[in-house]
Amino acid sequence: MMEHAIAREKAARLVAEMTLEEKASQLRYDAPAIPRLGIPAYNWWNEGLHGVARAGTATVFPQAIGLAAMFDGQILYEIAQVIAHEGRAKYNAASAHGDRDIYKGLTFWSPNINIFRDPRWGRGHETYGEDPCLTAELGVKFVKGLQGDGEYLKAAACAKHYAVHSGPEAVRHSFDAQATPKDMWETYLPAFEALVKDGDVEAVMGAYNRTNGEPCCGSKTLLKDILLEKWGFQGHVVSDCWAIRDFHENHHVTDTAPQSAAMALENGCNVNCGITYIHLMAAYQEGLVTEEQITDACIRLLATRFRLGLLGDVKTPYDAITLLENDTDEHDALALKAAEKSMTLLKNDGILPLNPEKVKTLAVIGPNADSKLCLEGNYNGTSSRYVTFLAGLQQACREAGVRLLFAPGSMLFKDKSEVLSQRQDDRLSEAVAIAEMADAVIACMGLDATMEGEEGDTGNQYFSGDKNDLELPDAQKRLLSAVAKTGTPLVTVVAAGSALRVEEGNAILWAWYPGQAGGTALANLVFGKVSPSGRLPLTFYHGIDELPDFEDYSMKNRTYRYFEGKPLYPFGFGLSYTEFIYSDACFRDGAVTVTLKNTGKMDADEVIQVYVKCDSAHAPLHPVLCGFKRVHVKAGEEMKAEIALTKNAFTVVDDQGNRLPCEKGVLYVGGSQPDALSRQLTGKECLKIQL
């Protein structure tokens, strides 16, 4: 791959031929063409969180939180490869027709590696969950898959939102996230450091908020001191969209747009998503920025375009990719595999998998049963192959000779008035009636990205995309209660991007936002073609009364590492249709080896998890994840697995933010956390290895 130094050298030669005004123009996200130098227009804004987004037909994979639930870096790497491939196909087609508009470029502003510290945050489903180890490991795999390993970058990844950003959405433009040095270096920064140092991520996006008083997109501490100097970042920095405008309009750390542009540029923000950098020339004329600063930023940006093979008279292996290689059967099969591996079984009294010999009539109810929106999540593309939960179950029932009855039963959203409450219940009796006639009920409940998501998402503007509680909408709660009273065995399927308190049902299956193949995946799991193998990438709580204030960024009593109570369901938890027995665990040369036997009757995946509890006053309250591996074991067979541990496994972070070695402690290896609730839910202990 073209080295950063070579790309910088090429860019410097080209930039030397530009006027100051031309250099400044290239720092906009919608950079104009410079025909005399053979530089085409380029729009830096594109999205690829779980598939090429907002650019027409593309493969839609499970939302990021569902991808995290796979606990599988290799499959995430393959998914990122597909995103880059489809992105190249779209770029080649669009540019060949002179279309260089937004969402047509090769700089994808993904992944979102913020820590999902509080389940109320609406954008949490864009992340890989609450754990720094899981987030870092998956983030690096995504970056490497997206950027490729050829002579040129296949696409450019972007680590966002740097840093200490995870709600609330309503105040993100003015909020100051206060975090201690320990929390910064133990929780909020490790994933960014990993993506820079281990993933060679090409871009980093600043956050809207301030962190410890400094606006993130103009923070000397975050951008200059840590990112550029301490970590040696070689790529480019982009602002979040219109975040630099917040400097003077909301954060009030500057008075004018030229001052805001100068603060961002001075501290290392190279490209502005927004319009504030149109004031760079005014800032220059006022003596607030130098030509050298503008030149350096321009060189960094053109270096990325050289690394992508977009400048100069070059040919790349990716130029021949056409739209025939977009939206393929192979990509759809990978989307199905990901959906199957992400869905997480939280409860099962034996009703699952359904037996067609006993379940002759199946009732499917719920507002998400026939919804495409609940498959997508946000920052999504548009699939040509959506299979809703209802459609997937209908196909499976036809094949099994099972009669399927359907009634939505309720609307999706929350009550806003008594009149609306009555309207929401006007289909309830129909759902109850078919439940009474059925041998089993599948209730497709939950949310979609209009109810949890980014500020301004249409359905939840009154909470700016965040959740004000951890409950299902009231109409859905009434529906579940009414159906449960029929006594018909109930399987509750929840599509959501976060933690909710759901306890009704003989079985509970968390589907996340499972992508275009969600319905097929659900049917395959429900009827036992595949064993569930997803694991929770975040803690499920009983309610928000167990949590600190939403605006409190301290990690005290947050996430599985520091939570002082008993969760509803613990991080790392998920049930299977089979049983795995662990034995012969040992630690040697930075890895844990363990023997795993599938004692059940189904071939199945298992997610091996390794946790460490360091013997130090600086260690988190509970053992922390330090390695994981997904394996496939055939029924009745056993295998020996090796799980490499992270380089930070035997370290702790002190109150000053220093990472210190810790040589004493205990390792735990098993299919879940070594906590009491996991033992209770699984009936198993984790194996211990004394360090």
Instruction: Indicate the SS3 state at residue 206.
Output: strand
Residue spans of alpha helices (H) in 438-488: 474-484
Pairing of strands 651-653, 580-588: unpaired
- Among the listed residues 47, 86, 240, 466, the single catalytic one is 240
Residue 142's nearest CA partner among 68, 76, 74, 59 is: 76
**What gap in Å lies between CA 165 and CA 113, rounded to an integer?**
10
Q: Which of 200, 425, 452, 606 is catalytic?
A: 452
Secondary structure of residue 563 in the 3-state scheme: coil
Q: Pseudo-torsion of CA 601, 602, 607, 610, nearest 10°?
A: 20
Cα distances (Å, whole numbers) of residue 629 to 70, 128, 581, 592: 10, 16, 16, 11
Q: Could you tell me which of 446, 436, 508 has the C-alpha nearest to residue 472?
A: 446
Q: Enumerate long-range contacts of 194-198, CB under 8 Å, 24 or more apart.
A: 194/136, 194/137, 194/139, 194/140, 195/113, 195/136, 195/139, 195/140, 195/143, 195/157, 195/159, 196/159, 196/227, 196/231, 196/232, 196/233, 197/231, 197/232, 198/136, 198/140
Whether the bond between 168 and the residue before it is cis, its omega within 30 degrees of 0, is: yes
**Closest C-alpha among 525, 570, 106, 599 to residue 337:** 525
DSSP assignment letter at 371: -
CA 448 from centre of chain: 15
Q: Which residues are bridge partners to 589 per DSSP? A: none
Angle at 116 between CA 248 and CA 641, to 5 degrees: 140
Query: 236 — phi, psi (to 5°)?
Result: -125, 160
Establish whether 240 is a catalytic residue.
yes
The DSSP string of 210-243 is EETTEEGGG-IIIIIIIIIIIS---SEEEPPTTT
Sort strands 659-661 and 651-653 into parallel, antiparallel or unpaired. antiparallel
3-class state of residue 83 by DSSP: helix
Q: What are phi and psi of 685, to 5 degrees?
A: -95, 150
Peptide bond into 353 cis (omega under 30): yes
CA atoms within 13 A on the CB side of 145: 25
Rounded Cα distance, 308 and 73, in Å = 24
d(CA 656, CA 653): 8
Give CA–CA dist 332/385, Å, rounded. Answer: 8
Give exposure, 484-513, as e/b (b: 16+ Cβ within 10 Å).
bebebbbbbbbbbbbbbbbebbbbbbbbbb
| Residue 153 CB-half CA count within 13 A | 30
Tokens representing residue 409 in the block: 């039963």
In the numeric block, which tokens belong to residue 119?
């389940």
Q: What sign for the dihedral angle of Cα 88, 70, 134, 571?
A: positive
Residue matched to tokens 């309207």: 423
Query: 278 is written with which tokens?
Result: 């149109």
* Helix 389-400, helix 518-526: angle, nearest 10: 40
> CA–CA separation, 610 vs 670, rounded Å?
7
Residue 349 known to be catalytic? no
Residues with a known catalytic role: 240, 452
